[in-house]
């Protein structure tokens, strides 16, 4: 399969791993953060930790939009969707995410009209097909998915679709990285930069990380070879004592980003003064709200939102895991009270969350004794 | 309830609620069909209900599934399917031609599988219920001589045999629902696996420890059930897994794992190492068996788990499916 197989070529992967071994100083411990949940998932999915030397530690970052969404936001949206005239539409990612009284899927089982959509424009289609109902699209994601929500808002306005609104939870990646770097217990050597987000925002917004924080950041694709090559690029910078923004994912990411997408976002969204991130707390100017010009299509402006706040159980150490201070399995609840089926904390919720990825792909490997390689 | 998708929740429902009350303390590991000895006569019995939207999809329809599914459950339990009884739950107002199409599909599938339809029942429920049509089929079979299916007999070193490419059925249904703006040149793999099973039993009967058709929950779920039942680890070699490009592509786009996607015309077998090549060869010599592969082997570790390894030395645990596979977008 084109654009996939060549990036999973075992020979090249082995070569990449050798290159990493050559560049890594055996007397040094490297802590690299992959910002994006997609990378966390890929690292576990492809078993890349098995091929990396032990002095390269990957810290899983905050880039899983489902994980960092406070439970109160889900409760708020589901409380609006209790109205039998409302259809609650969301991506599949959201369907098993628990609110206080259960996930959207569990609400569906109790009779709520919950639909899985594959793009926000599918939600518009739903609104057209159900003119007597109100379709509320639960929008989630970083700058990766925000442009498609923006275009959908523009379309709803242009076509005068009045039985449709967006419950907007879009967040932005840069303030989250800043929050991580501001954390006093955080020591990082470099960043594996987000791939999909950067197709929209480009590479320039990361320049302060290199300039002010003196950390290398390499924007990276999602295949095994992409990740290994990015680690090679970071190590090469560290070896030379450099700190700059580089793109390994040039086949997809334009340096300046996607101007049309950014324009659509600027037209429909503005920054919220602050927004709560699950596990990280309130971060200023870190999320998007819908502009007043689109108030009619903003669920929060159109309906009365209760503004529910739910704090995570004290025993859940999501914040520490999110910042890389603790490994998933070091949390007291991991694999006991907190599992992918019954997630207590944020990072167990989505398969891109570091706890869920670790639980699903890794933790039973811990006691492995036999050789793992497959026959040629 | 998330209990319908054939993964962890289904198993918990059966083991936690049904088995203790129906079978009491004597509950044996769950199998595809029960083998009974009634007054000296040995027979195998199984039942399955079929609910699918849309009723007709590329490569098959609900009627064909209802016969093949039950035939396959008997076959992988080591039995020759003999007779099937059918129950229809029909939605009031269902057009007759749709019903006729399914009855014809069932008759054809039964004839192809060499199984007799021995009786049936029909109920009509009010309009808006039952998604047009639900079908339940119950099958009776006679145990094949010389084959004993028992997860407890599985040993480290045994080979994992798979009859053909995985994920075709599940992805075909996902695309046929028309909710994704995606198209693929793909058909359901629904078929009777009886001829393939008879061939493999003839070639390696005493070496066959366990068989299963990896339907809902896919290969990962079936092998996790085996791993838990036998207490050993199942190690799969990723580059040996047969997956069509259309299935791989759809799974890549939607964030799904082909190992979790449903199949309706494949089976898994655990075969003793000395007979594995004979078993594989017997499938390769049969029509529809050309894509069979040895996809892995049983090891002591990781106990009670399934591990997928790559040729570059990476590995990951693959668990049972939790609920339905949901596409990842954001």
CATH classification at residue B201: 3.90.650.10
Give the DSSP H or E segment for B113. Answer: helix B96-113
C-alpha span between A230 and A338 (Å, rounded): 32
Distance from CA of A212 to the nearest CA of B (A): 30
Q: Which residues of B touch A350 (CB under 8 A)?
A: 328
C-alpha span between A90 and A88 (Å, rounded): 7
- Assess if residue B80 is contained within a domain: yes
Q: What is the pLDDT of residues B48-97, one digit of tens each?
A: 999 999 999 999 999 999 999 999 999 999 999 999 999 999 999 999 99
C-alpha span between B288 and B281 (Å, rounded): 13
Residues B210 and B262 both lie in one domain: yes
Residues B192 and B286 both lie in one domain: yes
Nearest to B312 among A10, A41, A340 (CB): A10
Which residues 192-221 of B are in CB contact (within 8 Å) with A? none
pLDDT of residue A133: 97
Residues B306 and B167 both lie in one domain: yes
Q: Which residues of B touch A118 (CB under 8 A)?
A: 179-181, 327, 329
B2–A364 C-beta distance less than 8 A: no
Q: What is the pLDDT of residues A191-206, one digit of tens each?
A: 999 999 999 999 999 9
For B249, the closest chain A residue by CA position comes to A1
**Which of A233-239's residues contact partners 24+ apart within 8 Å by CB, and which partners?**
A234/A32, A234/A189, A234/A190, A234/A191, A234/A192, A235/A20, A235/A23, A235/A24, A235/A30, A236/A23, A237/A190, A238/A30, A238/A189, A238/A190, A239/A23, A239/A25
Which residues 67-126 of B are in CB contact (within 8 Å) with A? none
B313–A116 C-beta distance less than 8 A: no
C-alpha span between B320 and B221 (Å, rounded): 4
Peptide bond into B302 cis (omega under 30): yes
- Assess if residue B324 is contained within a domain: no
Least confident of A279-283, A297-301, B169-173: A279-283
Residues B165 and B261 both lie in one domain: yes
Residues B115 and B250 both lie in one domain: no
Residues B138 and B157 both lie in one domain: no
C-alpha span between B241 and A135 (Å, rounded): 42
Distance from CA of B158 to the nearest CA of A (A): 15
Distance from CA of B294 to the nearest CA of A (A): 12
Distance from CA of A226 to the nearest CA of B (A): 15
pLDDT of residue A345: 80
Whether residue A243 is predicted with pLDDT greater than 70 in this model: the reply is: yes
- Comparison of pLDDT for A28 and A352, the residue scoring more: A28
C-alpha span between B120 and B138 (Å, rounded): 10
Nearest to A340 among B248, B305, B322 (CB): B322
Residues B110 and B171 both lie in one domain: no
**Which of B175-178's residues contact partners 24+ apart within 8 Å by CB, and which partners?**
B175/B250, B176/B54, B176/B57, B176/B58, B177/B53, B177/B54
Testing the interface with B: which of A2, A15, A46, A47 to mutate, by most B Cβ within 10 A? A47
Residue B58 contacts residue B180 (beta carbons within 8 Å): no
Q: Report how many domains make up chain B.
A: 2
A369–B245 C-beta distance less than 8 A: no
- Assess if residue B95 is contained within a domain: yes
ipTM of the complex: 0.84
pLDDT < 70: residue spans in chain B: 1-7, 25-29
- Assess if residue B5 is contained within a domain: no
Whether residue A95 is predicted with pLDDT greater than 70 in this model: the reply is: yes
* Interface contact B305, partner A, CB < 8 A: yes
Distance from CA of A78 to the nearest CA of B (A): 18
Which residues 18-57 of A are in CB contact (within 8 Å) with B? 41, 44-51
Give the DSSP H or E segment for B327. Answer: none
Ordered domains of chain A (ranges, CATH): 5-65+173-247 (3.40.50.11750), 71-170+272-302 (3.40.50.11740), 318-360 (no CATH)
- Comparison of pLDDT for A359 and B237, the residue scoring more: B237
Residues B111 and B228 both lie in one domain: no
When pLDDT is averaged across residues A228-232 and rounded to a whole number, the result is 98
Q: Which domain holds residue B98?
A: 34-143
Q: Which residues of A touch B315 (CB under 8 A)?
A: 47, 50, 365, 372
Q: Tell which of B125, B143, B161 closes a domain.
A: B143
C-alpha span between A66 and A69 (Å, rounded): 6
B117: which strand partners?
Answer: B84
Residue B139 contacts residue B87 (beta carbons within 8 Å): no
Residues B126 and B268 both lie in one domain: no
Can you say how many angstroms the Cα of residue A7 is from the centroid of all Cα atoms in its chain? 22
- Assess if residue B68 is contained within a domain: yes
- Assess if residue B24 is contained within a domain: no
When pLDDT is averaged across residues A99-127 and rounded to a whole number, the result is 94
What is the pLDDT of chain B when averaged over all its residues?
92
For B298, the closest chain A residue by CA position comes to A370
* 3-state DSSP of chain A: CCCCHHHCCHHHHHHHHHHHHHHCCCCCCEEEEEEEHHHHHHHHHCCHHHCCCCCEEEEEEEECCCCCCCHHHHHHHHHHHCCCCEEEEECHHHCCCCECCECHHHHHHCCCCEEECCCHHHHHHHHHHCCCCEEEEEECCCCCCHHHHHHHHHHHHHHCCCCEEEEECCECHHHHHHHHHHCCCCCCCEEEECCHHHHHHCCHHHHHHHHCCCCCEEECCCCHHHHHHHHHHHHHHHHHCCCCEEECCCCCCCCCCCHHHHHHHHHHEEECCEEEECCCEEEECCEEEECHHHHHHEHHHHCCCCCCCCCCCCCCCHHHHHCCCCCHHHCCCECCCECCCCCCCHHHCCCCCHHHHHHHHCHHHCCCCCCCCCCC
Residues B181 and B276 both lie in one domain: yes
- Assess if residue B3 is contained within a domain: no
- Token readout for B149 is 């299916």
Residues B273 and B165 both lie in one domain: yes
A105–B323 C-beta distance less than 8 A: yes
- Token readout for A362 is 């890794």
Percent of chain A having pLDDT more than 70? Answer: 97
Nearest to B301 among A122, A360, A368 (CB): A368
Nearest to A368 among B302, B310, B312 (CB): B302
B319–A360 C-beta distance less than 8 A: yes
Q: What is the pLDDT of residues B4-19, one digit of tens each?
A: 555 677 778 888 888 8
* Interface contact B16, partner A, CB < 8 A: no
What is the pLDDT of chain A when averaged over all its residues?
92
A375–B323 C-beta distance less than 8 A: no
For B237, the closest chain A residue by CA position comes to A374
> Per-residue confidence at A373, pLDDT binned at 50, 70, 90?
very low
From the list B109, B191, B199, the residue with the least C-alpha distance to B161 is B199
SS3 B285: coil
User: CB under 8 Å to A160, separation ≥6 — which residues?
Assistant: none
Q: What is the pLDDT of residues A149-173, one digit of tens each?
A: 999 999 999 999 999 999 999 999 9
Which residues 70-109 of A are in CB contact (within 8 Å) with B? 91-93, 95-96, 105, 109
C-alpha span between B88 and B93 (Å, rounded): 14
Beta-carbon pairs below 8 A across chains A and B:
130
CATH for B103: 3.30.1330.10
pLDDT of residue A374: 43
Q: What is the pLDDT of residues A315-333, one digit of tens each?
A: 888 888 887 788 899 999 9
Q: Which residues of A touch B322 (CB under 8 A)?
A: 96, 340-341
Testing the interface with B: which of A21, A92, A138, A223 to mutate, by most B Cβ within 10 A? A92
CB A250: neighbour CB atoms within 10 A?
12
Whether residue A212 is predicted with pLDDT greater than 80 in this model: the reply is: yes
B119: which strand partners?
Answer: B85
Give the DSSP H or E segment for B119. Answer: strand B116-125
A370–B299 C-beta distance less than 8 A: yes
Residues B158 and B132 both lie in one domain: no
Q: What is the pLDDT of residues B32-48, one digit of tens each?
A: 899 999 999 999 999 99
- Assess if residue B93 is contained within a domain: yes
């Amino acid at each position: 399969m084109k654009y996939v197989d060549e990036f999973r070529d075992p020979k090249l992967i082995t070569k990449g791993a050798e290159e990493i071994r050559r560049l890594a100083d055996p007397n040094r411990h490297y802590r690299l953060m992959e910002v994006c949940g997609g990378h966390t998932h890929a690292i576990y999915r492809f078993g890349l930790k098995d091929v990396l030397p032990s002095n390269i530690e990957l810290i899983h970052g905050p880039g899983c939009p489902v994980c960092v969404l406070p439970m109160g936001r889900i409760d708020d949206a589901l409380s609006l969707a209790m109205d039998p005239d409302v259809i609650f539409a969301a991506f599949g990612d959201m369907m098993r995410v628990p609110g206080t009284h259960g996930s959207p899927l569990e609400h569906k089982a109790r009779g709520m009209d919950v639909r899985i959509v594959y793009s926000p424009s599918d939600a518009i289609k739903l609104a057209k097909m159900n003119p007597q109902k109100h379709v509320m699209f639960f929008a989630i994601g970083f700058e990766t998915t925000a442009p498609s929500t923006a275009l959908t808002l523009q379309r709803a306005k242009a076509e005068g679709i009045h039985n449709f609104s967006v419950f907007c939870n879009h967040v932005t990646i840069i303030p989250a990285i800043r929050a991580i770097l501001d954390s006093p217990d955080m020591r990082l050597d470099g960043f594996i930069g987000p791939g999909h987000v950067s197709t929209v925002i480009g590479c320039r917004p990361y320049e302060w990380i290199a300039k002010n924080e003196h950390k290398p950041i390499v924007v990276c694709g999602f295949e095994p070879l992409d990740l290994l090559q990015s680690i090679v690029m970071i190590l090469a910078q560290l070896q030379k004592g450099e700190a700059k923004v580089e793109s390994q994912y040039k086949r997809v990411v334009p340096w300046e980003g996607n101007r049309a997408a950014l324009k659509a976002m600027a037209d429909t969204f503005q920054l919220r003064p602050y927004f709560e991130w699950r596990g990280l707390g309130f971060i200023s100017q870190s999320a998007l709200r819908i502009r007043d010009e689109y108030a009619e299509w903003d669920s929060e402006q159109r309906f009365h939102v209760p503004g529910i706040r739910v704090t995570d159980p004290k025993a859940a150490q999501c914040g520490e895991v999110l910042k890389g201070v603790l490994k998933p399995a070091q949390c007291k609840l991991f694999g006991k009270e907190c599992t992918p089926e019954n997630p207590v904390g944020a990072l167990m919720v989505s398969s891109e969350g570091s706890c869920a990825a670790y639980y699903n792909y890794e933790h039973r490997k811990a006691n492995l004794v036999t050789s793992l390689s497959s026959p040629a | 309830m998330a209990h319908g998708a054939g993964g962890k929740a289904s198993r918990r429902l059966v083991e936690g609620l049904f088995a203790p009350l129906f079978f009491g303390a004597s509950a044996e590991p769950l199998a595809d069909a029960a083998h009974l000895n009634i007054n000296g006569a040995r027979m195998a019995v199984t039942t399955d209900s079929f609910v699918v939207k849309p009723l007709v999809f590329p490569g098959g329809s609900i009627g064909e599934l209802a016969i093949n599914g039950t035939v396959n459950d008997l076959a992988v339990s080591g039995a020759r399917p003999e007779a099937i009884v059918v129950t229809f739950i029909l939605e009031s107002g269902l057009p007759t031609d749709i019903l006729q199409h399914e009855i014809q599909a069932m008759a054809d599938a039964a004839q192809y599988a060499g199984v007799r339809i021995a009786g049936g029942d029909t109920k009509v429920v009010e309009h808006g219920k039952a998604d047009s049509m639900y079908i339940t089929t119950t099958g009776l079979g006679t145990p094949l001589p010389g084959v004993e299916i028992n997860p407890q007999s599985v040993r480290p070193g045994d080979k994992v045999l798979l009859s053909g490419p995985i994920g075709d059925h599940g992805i075909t249904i996902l695309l046929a629902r028309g909710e994704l703006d995606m198209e693929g040149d793909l058909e359901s793999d629904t078929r009777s696996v009886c001829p393939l099973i008879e061939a493999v039993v003839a070639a390696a009967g005493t070496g066959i420890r366990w068989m299963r058709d990896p339907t809902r929950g896919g290969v990962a779920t079936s092998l996790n059930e085996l791993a838990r039942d036998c207490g050993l680890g199942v190690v799969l070699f990723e580059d040996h897994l047969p997956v069509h490009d259309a299935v791989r592509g759809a799974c890549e786009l939607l964030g799904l794992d082909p190992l979790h996607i449903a199949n309706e015309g494949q089976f898994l077998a655990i075969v003793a190492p000395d007979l594995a090549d004979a078993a594989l060869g017997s499938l390769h010599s049969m029509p529809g068996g050309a894509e069979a592969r040895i996809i892995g082997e049983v090891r002591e570790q990781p106990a009670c788990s399934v591990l997928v390894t790559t040729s570059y030395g990476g590995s990951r645990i693959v668990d049972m499916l939790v609920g339905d596979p949901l596409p990842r977008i954001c």
